[in-house]
């Protein structure tokens, strides 16, 4: 086998082992579908994508998987703390691979989501939560559109 092929195979195997370990540490069994979808999801660094976008990537990568499986897997990843859900509209949900504290710009018309570092926004005077409740997280989504005229 040429060195480049061997090197690529070794890199892929190392990556898969890392994904399996990440899944196990999160309490998820590393099934074939989870490993493949996690590989696609995390291979491009921090990003935001919909169920449909990841499904298209899987099909393009010759990994035949149903839309329902992608949906269920992303929700399992969310419950395990591997990704975050970002609902920007009632009909549009993004999954965010960056689980650190941060906020978002949403570019209307382009359906594009951009990260805002948490220290770039100051939130003062939050109302007290109801009795017996505590604030778990504050998500800020700032909607953008091109300037008019």
20: exposed, middle or buried (C-beta count within 10 Å: 0-12, 13-18, 19+)?
A: middle
Q: Which residues contact 9 (CB under 8 A, 6 or more apart)?
A: 1
pTM metric for this prediction: 0.81
Contact (CB, 8 A) for 83 and 95:
yes
Work out the number of other CB atoms within 10 angstroms of the CB of residue 106: 20
Q: Which fold has domain 3-144?
A: Arc Repressor Mutant, subunit A (1.10.10)
Instruction: Calculate the CA dihedral of residues 92, 125, 134, 89 and round it to 10 degrees.
Output: -10
Task: Render pLDDT for 8-26 as a digit per residue (tens, 0 to 9).
Answer: 443 444 456 789 999 999 9
Task: Render pLDDT for 53-109 as a digit per residue (tens, 0 to 9).
Answer: 999 999 999 999 999 999 999 999 999 999 999 998 878 899 999 999 999 999 998
């Amino acid at each position: 086998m040429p060195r480049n092929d061997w090197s690529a195979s070794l890199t892929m195997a190392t990556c898969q082992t890392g994904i399996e370990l990440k899944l196990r540490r999160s309490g998820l069994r590393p099934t074939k579908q989870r490993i493949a979808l996690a590989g696609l999801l995390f291979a491009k660094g921090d990003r935001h994508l919909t169920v449909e976008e990841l499904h298209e990537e899987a099909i393009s990568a010759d990994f035949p998987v149903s839309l329902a499986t992608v949906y269920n897997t992303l929700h399992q990843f969310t419950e395990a703390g591997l990704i975050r859900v970002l609902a920007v509209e009632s009909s549009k949900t993004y999954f965010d691979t960056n689980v650190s504290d941060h906020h978002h710009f949403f570019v209307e018309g382009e359906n594009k989501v951009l990260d805002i570092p948490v220290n770039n926004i100051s939130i003062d005077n939050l109302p007290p939560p109801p009795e017996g409740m505590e604030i778990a997280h504050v998500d800020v989504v700032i909607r953008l559109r091109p300037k008019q005229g």
